[in-house]
Amino acid sequence: MESTRIIAVRHGETAWNRDTRIQGHLDIELNSRGRAQAAHLARALADSESIDTIYSSDLARAKATAQAVADATGAPLTLTPDLRERCFGDFQGLTFTQISETLPEEAQKWRKRDPDWAPPNGGESLRALQLRLAETVNLLAARHVGQQIALFTHGGVLDMLYRLATGLGLQDARTWQLGNAAVNRLLWTPSGLTLVGWGDETHLEGASLDETTT
């Protein structure tokens, strides 16, 4: 059967990740820890993987992580807004606490994971995100049958890819990790995605990843 192997990676850490501040489509750079994570990831993939091509969200935090891997592996890098994080509308720039305090009714809908609810002022619903990601992955993977590609993206996107690969519903509670710079493995065939491995952070173990890392 035709298949494409996929390595899916969340971007390295940003200061807003540490602050639990919603980034969405806002263009936030990696912090020093995130840059160190990207460097360790790049070395690990260059040493152990054959990557035919790399696709990345065009947001800076994903792009920088992908660029480190592209530089280390020599794989070509293509940026696409189709791999961006979910758009969170008025939630963007706020912490979880601030959202609960200033937009309590909307925060409740968010916590309930209503598939058709979207954050106010241009936000994206879970159902719309799922459709976007299913179409994007099908399109990209179908171009590279018999090869291995890497996708660099965001936590909400990876959550959706996990659900697509396992058949879990949009309202099912999350029990899986979405670590910064972790390696997640999927297999694509024309019938859909299959989960191969998730949350591998062994390339980050023992590394000095505090805020002073250069």
Residue pLDDT, tens place only, 27-61: 999 999 999 999 999 999 999 999 999 999 999 99
Selecting among 13, 85, 106, 124, the annotated active-site residue is: 85
pLDDT at 211: 42
Comparing 205 with 74, the larger pLDDT belongs to: 74
pLDDT at 205: 85
Residue given tokens 């660099």 in the structure block:
152
* pLDDT (tens digit per residue) in 94-152: 999 999 999 899 999 899 999 999 999 999 999 999 999 999 999 999 999 999 999 99
Q: Give the Cα-Cα-Cα angle 103, 178, 68 (nearest 5 degrees).
A: 115
Hey, what domains does the chain have and what are their CATH numbers? 4-204 (3.40.50.1240)
Q: What is the pTM of this model?
A: 0.94
* Per-residue DSSP letter, 26: S
Distance of CA 88 to the CA centre of its chain: 15
Residue given tokens 């530089």 in the structure block:
71
Average pLDDT over residues 160-174: 97
* pLDDT (tens digit per residue) in 62-86: 999 999 999 999 999 999 999 999 9
Q: Is 11 a catalytic residue?
A: yes
Is 209 a residue whose pLDDT tops 60? Answer: no
Pick from 10, 7, 40, 4: nearest CA to 150? 7
Average pLDDT over residues 149-176: 97
